[in-house]
Structure 1
């Protein structure tokens, strides 16, 4: 490999790991190459190898992440393994003698305590950059709406409403995503993206969460090793923030008949903005009324590969690459604290459904069970 090329390794080459592989291939002109990956699942290995060979990238294959770490082949690692494995893998990477920069898929970990352990360990390794894969903030319509909000066009943000109406969870290796113990629960696994966006839009931190959700349609007739899946398939979640703003999530995972999978509404004291995905349309206007509404088709010319997430994974890699090449002068835009808080919000929502009451973020952060 020529000098100056950043050598990437991918840990976990299931669907999302292979998506990262393709994104990195489209970034090859930026001086990156994938040189290794690790995955114990042979079918995933084979699919990833086929991709790598089609890119004419020579790849070293490992069955476990520790062997990949010890090989010393990589400068940067992408962790795209099942959620419940993130903690162990991240701790092994951070504690390894050779520094590796890391992009870890969301959620950071499945529990707040594991997230906090990773945050604490990473503080002792200033030679390592860690970015969390909350890439929805890079989707062109979302990024455009954030720009409008930050420009003051809507005034002080008071309410954020995010609707995700979509298809059920996809089938994953060994069906790991069918159980809360593995995924952290639907509101952690899927919705940490939206809790992250709420924080960005309101510019504040969450105080308490109230949620109602259930398993109403999906996975009820599925059985794995004698167990029926326990992940919820719909929910409403209300989040109160420390600046008085409120957010609401409306999640339904049996709503394939939707024009847009995500609809985001942000309302300030002087205006309202909306973003629609995958339509990639942004609308915003003031309280003067409907005649004042502007409509924008959101695009980002930098995107060379749209992939599964409308180009956001490509932009995520571009952003992380910039942070790495900045040699620590610029922190990753999605840091470990963002990862921790987004998980804490999801955990609070899951507990709120269980307890039937508001759950404070302090309770979750201090791991109280009352």
Structure 2
């Protein structure tokens, strides 16, 4: 392989185009081929990567010579069949968007495919790489003395419009607690070094999408909820999600507490949604609050403007590709493994089940 890494991209809707903009910022990296069946999305992708060829099918993309790696950024319910085809036809190093899968019936199938896959697979959990969250992860043990309680709160906007409206229905997305929240279950497992053992959830659809119909069907996707996860070491984590709270100053607020103190990070939402009349968008912050001596310390964690302009995830997509590139070159193993992706979905599915039945779910 040359030093230039060439991507093949599968799916170039909103998230796929964010990947294109961030790949373009990396040195010695380019997109060689894009498979996107929707005409409008294909044209937008071609504008972002004018040197890429545009095959008509996934099979045609897999036949393009010179590709070094692949990225799956297609709708959730397509991930597993596309993964299966890639594994059979051309198993290049693979970055696959979350969630790794959505249907509980695919659990064993995904494990079998990935276990036999001869190249690195990296599951795209961008939130790990947001600079304020990365700073929290770096300092959390020292600040807390070992996390006993973790709270993740996301107050944000509703699901955006996607091609084919797939994100309006549980059967395509996996449900909100899988589609949206697997990021947060991944962070819980990163922060708390123990196995999750029990999930309790309450969630529902209060406001969003109730006045929409698609093919005569009203969306069933949830827009709010609480999830509590208990861990084998006695630590507990809670997620609070509200998707009709876009008026918030910060979109994500994460708090970890232990016997030595507390550490928090505050993460703003996409800058393009911040009202111009309110001035400059908020800057991410890290707050460390020791128990003794008392005295919270607040640190701004600014993100490079060019990275903010390249996507909606506070620069994390760029940093993820930077690290994935090293895995493609054989210089490092994947940081977000198939096991990580599998466990994040497993927790999301357990939360969906708990909220649907009113019962806790043992893992």
Match of 2:164 in 1: 174
2:291 to 270, 287, 292: 287
Deviation (angstroms), 1:229: 0.3
Give per-residue Cα distances to partners, 1:179-215, cap 9 Å, x unaligned.
0000000000000001111111111221110000111
SS at match of 1:61: coil
Match of 1:315 in 2: 319
**Is 1:87–1:115's contact at 8 Å kept on the other side of the alignment?**
no
Match of 1:356 in 2: 358
Q: Alignment length, in residue pairs?
A: 347
**For the structure 1 residues 300 and 321, does the alpha-carbon distance in structure 2 shift closer, same or farther, using more than 3 Å as the test?**
farther
Match of 2:132 in 1: 141
Using the size of structure 1 for normalisation, the TM-score is: 0.90
Deviation (angstroms), 1:65: 1.4
Match of 1:230 in 2: 220
Deviation (angstroms), 1:4: 3.0
Using the alignment, how far apart are the partners of 1:296 and 1:204 within structure 2?
29
- Structure 2 unmatched runs, 5+: 269-282
Deviation (angstroms), 1:115: 4.3
Give per-residue Cα distances to partners, 1:274-304, cap 9 Å, x unaligned.
0000231000121136x42111112467x85
1:39 to 17, 36, 45: 36
Q: Which runs of structure 2 are paired with 1:73-152 in the superposition (5 Å)?
A: 73-96=66-89, 98-126=90-118, 128-150=119-141, 152=142
Deviation (angstroms), 1:3: 4.2
Match of 1:337 in 2: 339
SS at match of 1:197: helix
Match of 1:365 in 2: none
Match of 2:301 in 1: 298
The answer as to 2:264 corresponding to 1:274 is yes
Using the alignment, how far apart are the partners of 2:67 and 2:194 within structure 1?
37
Match of 1:219 in 2: 209
Using the alignment, how far apart are the partners of 1:45 and 1:66 within structure 2?
17
1:156 to 146, 151, 154: 146
Using the alignment, how far apart are the partners of 1:112 and 1:190 within structure 2?
17
Deviation (angstroms), 1:244: 0.9
**Is 2:185–2:347's contact at 8 Å kept on the other side of the alignment?**
yes
Deviation (angstroms), 1:117: 2.1
Using the alignment, how far apart are the partners of 1:80 and 1:353 within structure 2?
28
Using the alignment, how far apart are the partners of 2:121 and 2:42 within structure 1?
25
2:186 to 196, 212, 232: 196
Using the alignment, how far apart are the partners of 1:43 and 1:101 within structure 2?
28
Using the alignment, how far apart are the partners of 1:241 and 1:204 within structure 2?
6
RMSD of aligned residue pairs (Cα, Å): 1.6
Using the alignment, how far apart are the partners of 2:132 and 2:213 within structure 1?
39
Using the alignment, how far apart are the partners of 2:262 and 2:296 within structure 1?
9
Deviation (angstroms), 1:85: 0.2
Q: Which runs of structure 2 are paired with 1:46-85 in the superposition (5 Å)?
A: 46-53=43-50, 58-85=51-78
**Is 1:36–1:73's contact at 8 Å kept on the other side of the alignment?**
no
**Is 1:38–1:61's contact at 8 Å kept on the other side of the alignment?**
yes
**For the structure 1 residues 326 and 73, does the alpha-carbon distance in structure 2 shift closer, same or farther, using more than 3 Å as the test?**
closer
Using the size of structure 2 for normalisation, the TM-score is: 0.92
SS at match of 1:62: coil
Using the alignment, how far apart are the partners of 1:73 and 1:237 within structure 2?
45
Using the alignment, how far apart are the partners of 1:263 and 1:153 within structure 2?
17
Using the alignment, how far apart are the partners of 2:174 and 2:139 within structure 1?
33
1:326 to 309, 327, 330: 330
Give per-residue Cα distances to partners, 1:57-115, cap 9 Å, x unaligned.
x211023212111233421111100000000001111222x331111111111124424
Using the alignment, how far apart are the partners of 1:113 and 1:5 within structure 2?
39
Using the alignment, how far apart are the partners of 2:195 and 2:328 within structure 1?
27
